[in-house]
Amino acid sequence: MSEPEHLGVKRAESARLRRTEQLRRWKGSLTELEPVAPVGARGRHRGGGPRVRFEEGAVFLAACSSGDTEEVKRLLARGARINTANVDGLTALHQACIDENLDMVKFLVESGANVNQQDNEGWTSLHAVASCGYLNIAEYLISHGANIAAVNSEGEVPSDTAEEAAMKDLLLEQVKKHGKPALYLIRHLLGLSEVLIPISKYVWF
């Protein structure tokens, strides 16, 4: 195996481990583990313990996670920020994508969610769906302005996180369709990483 191929394999394995950990953290986040209490709730539970106070952002993320669009609408009307994020920088749109909840994805995007917002590791929602292989959501995000060349903290664009051929084909077809840099195509065709051929230094045409 050549050195570039060896580096590519190592990066792929590392990426898979990071994705697994990222999903584990998200599934075990506060909004999934704790019951939702009203914003600003005070007092004590019936059992005598202190009532958990939730910040508005946590309540909003929990409502989105549950798929309760009516509650989400109510919270937005009260001033909840649609692009609010948890401690890992993950937004409600990230979660809806990871959960393969196309209806919630559409609702959030149509309500003004930023399709290109990045988490703490630079992942956009398109990185997430590319990794999970959700073609229908990827197509929807792309049709609503998702950046197919967004680079995360590891120098990966969404197609780098994709493992399924159909997803890679979709993203690379979009690259060609929108006239992205030739070097983007070259490094994908050769299986080279962003580290070896950084696309951010080159002019788009």
At 118, which CATH number? Answer: 1.25.40.20
171 occurs within a structural domain: no
- Six-digit token string for 202: 């080159």
pTM, to two decimals = 0.68
As a whole number of angstroms, the distance between CA 57 and CA 202 comes to 38
Rg, the chain, Cα only:
19
30 occurs within a structural domain: yes
Query: What total of structural domains would you count in the chain?
Result: 1
Tell me the residue type at 58.
A
176 occurs within a structural domain: no
What tens digit of pLDDT does each residue of 29-67 get? 544 444 333 344 433 334 444 333 457 788 999 999 999
Average pLDDT over the chain reads 75
Please tell me what DSSP assigns to residue 92.
H
Contact 92, 113 (CB under 8 A): yes
Which of 14 and 167 is assigned the larger pLDDT? 167
153 occurs within a structural domain: no
Highest mean pLDDT among 3-17, 32-46, 69-83, 162-176: 69-83
Q: What pLDDT sits at residue 30? A: 44
Range 15-40 burial, b when 16+ CB lie within 10 A, else e: beebbeebeeebeebebeeeebbebe
100 occurs within a structural domain: yes
As a whole number of angstroms, the distance between CA 184 and CA 124 comes to 18
174 occurs within a structural domain: no
205 occurs within a structural domain: no
For residue 161, pLDDT beyond 50: yes
Q: What pLDDT sits at residue 21? A: 67
For residue 10, pLDDT beyond 90: no
Please state, for a pLDDT cut of 70, what percent of the chain lies above it: 60
For residue 88, pLDDT beyond 70: yes
Q: Residue 134's closest CA among 173, 172, 174, 161? A: 161
Q: In terms of residue numbers, what domain contains 84?
A: 3-35+51-148
Q: What pLDDT sits at residue 176? A: 80
For residue 151, pLDDT beyond 70: yes
Q: What pLDDT sits at residue 193? A: 46
How much is the average pLDDT of 171-181?
A: 76
